[in-house]
Structure 1
Amino acid sequence: MLTALKDSMPILIVTSEWYVSHTTAVAEKLFAPVDNVINKHLEDLFIFPLCVEEQQKTIADGSLVQVSLRTSPNVQFLLSFYDVRSNEIFVHIAELSTYYCQNPLEDEQTRILRHAVNSANLGVWCYDLLNKTAYFSPKFKSLIGLPASAELDWDTLKSMIYHEDQPLFAELLAHHIEQGLMLHFEFRLEVRGTIHWFEFKGEQVKYCIRTHSVYGILADCTHEKDMLVALHDAEESKELAMQAGKIGTWRAIRVANQWIWNWDHQANEIFKLSEDDIGNLHLWEASLHPDDKARVTQALEASLNSGETFEQRYRGLLNDKDIVVVYAKGVVGLDEQGRPARIDGVVIDQTDVYIAQKKLQHINQELEQRVAERTADLEAAIIKAEQANRTKSDFLSMMSHELRTPMNGIIGSLDLMALSELDEDNQELLETASISANNLVSILNDILDLAKVEQGKMELESYPFSPSKMLNNIIKTFEAHARDKSVKLTVHEDIKLPLEVIGDENRVRQIIFNVVSNAIKFSVADREGGAKVTINVHWACEGVALSHLIFKIEDNGIGIAPEVQKKLFTPFTQAERSITRKYGGTGLGLAICGKLIDLMGGKVVLKSKSGEGSTFTITIPIWRPRTQQQPNILFNTLYWLSDTPWQSSLALTQLYNACTHFCNELKVIESPNEIKETDDTALIRVVTTQAGVCAEQIISPIPELVFLDEKAFANLNSTALTTQKPKPIAPQTQYAIGQLLSKLKVSQQNDEADLGELNDLSELDALLSLDNKVSSPTDDESDTSGKQHILLAEDNPFNQKLIVKQLSRLGVSCDIANNGKEALAMYKSQQYQLLLTDCHMPEIDGYELTKLIRAFESTEERSAIPIVAVTGAAMKGDKELCLDSGMNDYVSKPVRLQELKNTLGKWLDMDFTQ
């Protein structure tokens, strides 16, 4: 038999003790390199799942046992045991692959199964419990992130599993093998840095009653797991939201002709029902508030019958005492026939909202009552405030009138005196007094305008002005004061400074006025080199139209401590009380300056140290006019003769630069012999040394201006200089130099004319014209023939006298009425070309006088007389009050001659320009 089989089948014949007695040639080849297997025990040739003794007990005729080759454990065979005769067992050896592929039909089924498994993205695995070996399909390895060629054993797979899932993996596999429980669970495993979820299934395969292997599949269920987690989170979030919002759900389904009701635990909790009460509609109806029950049940029944949405807000009684307020809404669903088949809805506990609304209503009622009370109090306070404001306005108007009345006399007299023939000293004193008086009026205007200050704002004006002229006015105001305090006052103007800019001159002057005043006030005469105050004016262009005026005011006075600098621009703030006692002042000046600078959009920077002086740098945005004013060329050539180079000091540089604006050429010479005498030349002689003073006795062949420094003035004797009264080198502004050169030009044209120093060239021209037309007669000598005759209503004798002189100077005669009553009588009895009236007078004031005159004109059909108000009131609205009462125009005290002339020129048939 063996001979017949030896060439075809691997067969062994063993004894009952499993020793090999015969073998075929095919079988021998399986055991290579073992040369002879005869008398070998099967255990020497194969690795059995059990020990030999146990294994032999399980063997019977036809038994199958899966074994591994001893020499190659990875090679597995299936041994078939057959009893041939007594004490001999026939053992057939078959490889596992051969065994499972003997049937062609089974092979085709296997291929189909393999393709199906791959297309389903399933990994196949097999674990041999006997040999502790495992098989993993290429798809299995791909699913867990390994290449198909990678080596993978069972222990490696377990180590790759997420550490929290490893115990579960081992435990469930053991339960499956030992107890036959279903092997189906999920575990996590990291794939390419990301945690994936896998579904693990398996089933054991037994040979000879015992489990030899476990086969199964692996599927990636990460997506499904994520969806479940998201669904769970959403459900949990919904539950939490429903609980937080106290929202319950309810539903009813129609079965036959009955409605089956149900609601969730949250809805049950809202109505404080027990678990067994869920779905009991009668108990829910019993919990409704008696006042709401009929309405709610009828609405619900109507919705169930009609299919309309159910929506009600109602109350429920809990335990016959507590009230719950709910909002319920339900949507009806229809069946295929369009009949209501179900209703689904929500119920929301709004008790807290209801309570809050009740409290809010109560609070609103209280607030409305309080608002009504406060409104009444406020209205009463407004009435009092308006009364106080009217009182304040009346007081300010009265004070304005009382203060402006004497100022009118001062400034008017100065205006008239300026038209008189005065020597140069008196003319200069007159100019200083006039500038100081006008500055006082400006300060008075700021003080009286309390409404602007109280509101924290002021209305800025915008008009052309000369920055140099403004600076010159400030210098003239403080020049004598600085000289008395032995303070050297110096000014330096940027050569690029325009002749004219656009802005609020009064406010800019007020700022610089205050800072310069403080600099001189707090100067110290015993400083090394003497007390000094320097004003530097710079011009910084920022564009086509907008630029900046920068004032840098330096002093070497007492300085300001750092802790005081922080609050220096706060009202009523000074360094310390001893400073106030020594130097005086209210502490308001810089506070007002700070507000004005902020209002203009500028800034101020302070640098100071105690005992070393202070530097204020003030930057103010300013507009340039579209057409720049050209310099007034007074001389073709100016000669500059100085014993010191003009670049040697700031004061000389300022003087030199100022002169360049008024000539076509400024020539520096060393001797009068270099002068070429013509009709359009003048000499600027600068003396800073005693030698220069002596040289000054040389007479110039052309008109000249002489400037001396402090030392030269001290060494000057009365006979040294006779041609011109010398002027100080500093402080001199561009405007002041223009004034001096203008006078020199007039002197050159008319040696006999001595017109004095004037405010500006336009005033000079006007005055020359005026003097040619009008003489300066006294009151008694005035010839009124050909003059305009007007009526003056004024109760103040000083103002009467002043205005009469001003009118006489303008060629106008007048009659005087001491009050409004006299003025009305005189108006009715005579014909006048104009009425000039004060607003505040006894008997009848100017406003009432105007109304009476207008009424008389209307009744008597008399032509309207021009009425011009002359008043000291300067509050906002005063001009409108004058015009509303029937007046034609308005002149504010102090009355200036030029302003009076301009106003009368509009209403009288006279040519004041001649």
Structure 2
Amino acid sequence: VELMDGKLEVESAPGKGSTFSFDLKLEELPSSESALFNAFTSLHIAKYEQKHPEKSDNYLDNSFEYYATEVRLFDSVNELKKIKESKSCNNYWIDIENAKQYILDSLRHIDKTQLIIIAHVTSRDKLDSLGVPQKNILYKPVTLSKVREVLLRESGVTTEKTHEATMAEVHFDAKVLVAEDNIINQKLIRHILEGSGLTVDMANDGMDAFEKRQRNDYDLIFMDIQMPIMDGVESTHEILAFEQENGEPHIPIVALTAYALKGDRERFLLEKMDDFITKPLDTSDLLTVLNKYLGNKVTKESKETQERATDSRNERIKELTASREEKLTADTKVPAPKEIQEPVMQQREISQKKKTEKKILLANSSLLEGRILAKMIAGLNLDYATLHKSSNLDDEIGSGHYDILVIDSEMLPEDLSSIEDQVAVIVLPEDNTEEILPDIKRGTIAPPALTKEILEVLINKYRV
């Protein structure tokens, strides 16, 4: 931190623990977030805040200020009751780790769909007792992007707001070479890159990559470091020598590696690689690299799609601002009996629809690993249930509530035929267990270093 001209701080309180934080001076880069600055003026929320706010409160307040969301604070039941009776707020935000018990008890009088709960992933029992929908839970650490996603959903603006920064909506008319020896990684990387319109050529090792570069032209090369026969650094040296000797134009080479230690980036750049990205791939990092080296290869259709999304979003914000103001005004009127009955019926229809939606079953023998996996799924705003005993697996699958099973190798039954008829199976292997796992006809084996992004790709692959 000090080498980057930053400042490291620690705060400690008896009975509460310690909080470490640091500040860094970083280069400001263009971001699609600017399009959402002051974008949620139509939203009115109530937020629980103690008389002595903590750092997390200040961070959340700064996020609301950035998005221009109107906030009413309360720290007592009476204040909460007045806000509820005024019908002036769309949502109620409460950090259950900091809230007093009498505040939590009063939440039973609030519509659960209006509650936005902030909590640690370990507070499962508290969350279950509140009965709040999974999508209304904001797991710590709270970030600007997490707050943005909630505000986007609650404001009614569609996900096209985020289209400008997603791999699915940015397409490139380009050809890339990927040198990677792991078959599972090959499939995942190919799936992600081809989803952005790229033509992908695979090399199984460094020598194969060098030979393919000799025979073909590419717009970009992703080079794994640890490979058999010839590693990524040696392959890079051979490619550079070939280009120099034959007067060939240089093709940018991006190191693709699991290395993430201090100094690794500098080391690879010293080896004449052009850039560096870690595995497992983060789609935002990958998109940054693609825009950097293939910015001139973005297709016309992709640009037009983004422009249309931006125009549509801005128009939608205007419409919602007007409709929200009308709604808040109308909510203060005393409704006729018919006006009361209709929303109740609509709510029942929505609840019934939710009941019919399939969930993901997380079967894991380790409680800690199960919690980590649950946090990933929760971060994707997907419904799920957990299971820690293999003896209950058949009954759960047979209930018909699930369409995907994410299971570790210890709980995996030898015969998958009955299970695969009902759900797709994503297996979480332990080290060196791939060769003894049963054949999976409807599903796949997840890579050992599983991330939320990779898990999302696998789930979307098997969910219709």
TM interval, shorter chain, is 0.3 to 0.5
Task: Name the one with the larger strand percent.
Answer: 1
Using CA pairs under 8 Å that are at least 6 residues apart, name the structure with larger relative contact order, 1 or 2.
2
Decide which structure has greater helix share. 2
TM-score where L is the length of structure 1:
0.25
**TM-score normalised by length of structure 2:** 0.45
